[in-house]
Structure 1
Amino acid sequence: MSDQEISWLTLALRSRETSKWKLDLAFLLSRDEVRATIAARIRDNAEARWIARSVHASGRTFREKDMEHYALQRGWHPQGKFWVPIEEPLSLPSPNGVKNAEVTFKLKSILFGSIAIEVTAGGARLDLVLDDVRDYPITFARFVQVLTAGGLPHAAMTDETWCDIVINDGPEPDQCRLLIDNTYPGREACIDTFTDRKRLVDAFRKLAWEIGDHPYFAHHFLYHGLPIDEYTRVAEAHDKDWAAGLQQGIYPDDIDVEDALLASRIVEGLTLPADWDDETARFRKMMRSLEIPPDWQLRFGLRAIVTIEEVAYLIEPPNRAA
């Protein structure tokens, strides 16, 4: 961080007096200031969690809305004047007219930076999309982890944080209430239902496993479009072959067929750097086992900042996972 850069540091702070959480935004110019600010927040509050640090050239404007968006991406929700982390219950309005239904998830595809999921509950159906830039598999894994442990998680974890997914208690001990409220323009839909908790846990765990086990998870989501030179090489070669095949009548004039062929060629013809293998393996293991690496827990605001060593780790430039 140079003197020509400004660091916007966002933390979540839990008050000793109220046990409530608030977001804290600081404008800082050096690593020493970042370090000192985090240390002071830890000292003055019951708990401090890292949300994000954004570094820009001097003169760039950082809005409060940006800070809130970072928090939403990590499973936090506003409630009144305070914020609620993913593992603490989020209150919902009274369930007037909510009925029982079995909930199912179908992993439709992982293609070109998007994970497409179909949700059904009774006669209702909606589509969800995880975006490779704005929706994080770490948040998804934490949601399912909390649900599996018997908690009541919530997160805006799909459709670029436009979709709220909230679990509350149901009318019976073995039930829970599931609300999926998607307000993404063009995909507006809502499911609000009581459902069997164990079956819902099994459905979410199966979906998480299928995502982590999918052969396209790395190329088409974790590293979509990367490395740029290799991706461009494969895409340009495909474009030439497709144009020639279309002219010769080898390929049908069908955009879905073309996309499917390009998708497979990216996986088969694009070699990811060997030093990305460890990160890929960590992501796949996390989705299958719901065990989130401790350093990702720290950087995603899933646990408190405690030690000086953790502060030093956090002020280093984020890795690809964060």
Structure 2
Amino acid sequence: MAELAYTEAELMSDLPVARPHVVAGRRMHGGFDADGRYIPPRAAGRERAIADWTHALRQRGGELFAADASLLTGPRMPNLEQQRLLLREGIGVPFWNNLTTTGKIEGRGRILAEMQFPDLAQIVAEDVSTMAIGHLGKGLLKAHGIDEGGEPARGIGGHDVMWFVARDLVFGADAYPDVEPPESISRPEAGRRWMPELPAPYEGLLSFLMNLLMIEFRAEIGFASTQAILRTPDLFADRREAAEEAAEIVERIREDERIHVTSLRLYLGELRACRLRTVDGGTVSGAEVIDRFWSGLVNWATVEQPRLAAEQQRLALEPLFDRHPEGARIRAAFDACSDLGPARLAQAAVG
């Protein structure tokens, strides 16, 4: 019979590695086996536990939450071809900024290792002690957070440092000024109740998990695009080997993120299969609550947010075009491969 109760030590345990993960003198998490294959961090107990809990969920008639990155449509700015165009024209700031802000956003994820989350045993009618959702505060979210933000006290970088190393491989250190990411990349939730039948702290936790899954999906699309740029043969011509190594670092990040996505889909799948205690003393189907919130989040992430973000990014590019001696030509070529329609594009260009 599969083991369904795990200790934090088990969920944080590492697989053995033949050599550590070091690039350009920077130590990062994970390592490599004797054949040079990348070994993700904290994978020994966590991967086994996720597989066991998934099997148990299916035995109860449930399933992983049915969502993946393919649901995210909408314009991107710059899109893949636009980013390639900018780099070919010597405009590297947008790609540098993208790599920098991605690393900083990943680093913020370390808060998962430090936050105190409400105990779902208090709101889920079923026994959660042998479910993944019964282990969120017993190592699962801590492992996720350390994956993102590393272990600075031990000199081991997480995804934040991996992005900075990849960036510096292709641009060199301090090639452009530092940049800060937006304060939040989740859907604004302040002051709104989407699950009023639940106590507010638990609504906050469920909202957090679903927003986190959506962020992971958006990241997957962005990471794949970044790899395609790094592997474009005519870009970074004087640093081709470094660019290929940077693309490999991104692939290692993507491998790490797969367990995050699977874990989040498992948490939500378990919650959908349970009944949740309501503020009026009754219960409500987890599926009803989860699906209602997710539907609104998907609308924001696929309709509202992408177009607004693309328009804002297009406006931010105007000064770069204005300063370039061939700015008018580059602007026209850039807009010719835009994901925005003509009317939206014209509006975005003038603010």
Q: TM-score normalised to the size of structure 2? A: 0.26
Greater share of residues in strand: 1
Greater share of residues in helix: 2
Q: TM-score normalised to the size of structure 1? A: 0.28
